């Protein structure tokens, strides 16, 4: 059986969302980020990203990771691309052409957007977005996101989804990165087509179910 290691309040959301879209049965193995614990190595502390048993799964100590009948895999984009291709259906590439485009957009998400979008998300999660310093940090990140968001805006002006005219794993991989910038309204305000696409993605039942699980999660 597929095992997904991580928590919903992490990058694992993209893998939980995909699993929901695919209707996969899986075992959720909760692994908390070590930085959320006062002493992640204390006796009896819950399994976290520095726990030896988790480092045996992912030596980099980051979530998510999976064990799929003996295949241990980490890096969330690689996990999502693997699961989509394994289980097929409309989320997966139909041919080599679509495979290339889905891979391109997934890499684009992590290489061109994630670092700056995550700065906004972290500022919001830590309560700093309401401060002058936090606003300044978000403004810098937002300005650095204008170019990649502009590329997405141009694409979604003529396409409802990233690849093939349908919702695919590429949309999950992109949307879960763009979402990080949502708490700072000026980041997305200049890009109405990106906002409309993100809304379409977030209206999907599998996303809503994943998000409710995230809201209900106890840390």
CA distance 170 to 81: 8
CA distance 97 to 170: 13
pLDDT at 218: 82
Q: pLDDT tier at 63 (50, 70, 90 boundaries)?
A: very high
* Whether the predicted pLDDT of 124 surpasses 90: yes
pLDDT at 215: 96
**CATH assignment at residue 40:** 3.40.30.10
Nearest 5°: phi and psi at 189?
Answer: -55, -40
State mean pLDDT over 45-69. 97
Same domain, residue pair 78 and 102: no
219 within domain boundaries: no
- The predicted-structure confidence for 139-181, as pLDDT tens digits, reads as follows 999 999 999 999 999 999 999 999 999 999 999 999 999 999 9
Same domain, residue pair 40 and 138: no
- Write the burial class of residue 99 (CB in 10 Å: 0-12 exposed, 13-18 middle, 19+ buried): middle
Q: Kindly report the length of the chain.
A: 219
Same domain, residue pair 125 and 203: yes
Number of Cβ within 10 Å of residue 138's Cβ equals 25
Domain boundary (60, 88, 116) is at 88
Contact by Cβ (8 Å): 49, 61: yes
Domain boundary (70, 88, 106) is at 88
144 within domain boundaries: yes
* Whether the predicted pLDDT of 60 surpasses 80: yes
Same domain, residue pair 57 and 150: no
Same domain, residue pair 32 and 80: yes
**CATH assignment at residue 147:** 1.20.1050.10
Full domain range(s) for residue 36: 2-88
CA distance 66 to 79: 7
Structure tokens at 92: 């997966």
Q: pLDDT tier at 119 (50, 70, 90 boundaries)?
A: very high
CA distance 58 to 48: 11
* Whether the predicted pLDDT of 18 surpasses 90: yes
Residue 48, beta-bridge partner list: 32
Same domain, residue pair 178 and 203: yes
Domain boundary (35, 64, 88) is at 88
Q: Please, where are the H alpha helices in the chain?
A: 12-22, 52-55, 76-87, 96-108, 114-125, 132-156, 169-178, 185-188, 192-202, 205-216
pLDDT at 173: 98
pLDDT at 201: 98
Number of domains forming the structure of the chain:
2
CA distance 216 to 47: 19
pLDDT at 148: 98
Q: pLDDT tier at 219 (50, 70, 90 boundaries)?
A: confident
Same domain, residue pair 80 and 138: no
18 within domain boundaries: yes
In whole numbers, what is the pLDDT of the chain averaged over residues?
97
77 within domain boundaries: yes
Contact by Cβ (8 Å): 171, 162: yes
């Amino acid at each position: 059986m597929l095992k997904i290691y991580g928590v919903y309040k992490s990058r694992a959301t993209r893998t939980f969302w995909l699993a929901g879209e695919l209707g996969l049965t899986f075992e959720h193995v909760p692994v908390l980020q070590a930085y959320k614990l006062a002493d992640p190595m204390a006796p009896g502390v819950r399994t976290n990203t520095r726990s030896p048993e988790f480092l045996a799964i992912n030596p980099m100590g980051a979530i998510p990771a999976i064990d799929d009948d003996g295949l241990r895999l980490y890096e969330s984009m690689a996990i999502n691309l693997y699961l989509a291709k394994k289980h097929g259906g409309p989320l997966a590439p139909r041919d080599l052409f679509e495979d290339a485009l889905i891979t391109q957009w997934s890499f684009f998400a992590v290489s061109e957007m994630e670092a700056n979008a995550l700065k906004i998300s972290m500022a919001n999660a830590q309560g700093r977005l309401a401060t002058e310093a936090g606003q300044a940090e978000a403004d810098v990140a937002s300005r650095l996101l204008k170019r990649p968001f502009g590329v997405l805006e141009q694409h979604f002006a003529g396409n409802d989804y990233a690849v093939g005219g349908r919702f695919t794993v590429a949309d999950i991989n992109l949307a879960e990165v763009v979402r990080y910038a949502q708490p700072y309204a000026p980041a997305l305000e200049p890009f109405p087509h990106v906002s409309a696409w993100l809304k379409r993605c977030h209206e999907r039942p599998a996303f809503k179910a994943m998000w409710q699980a995230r809201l209900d999660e106890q840390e």
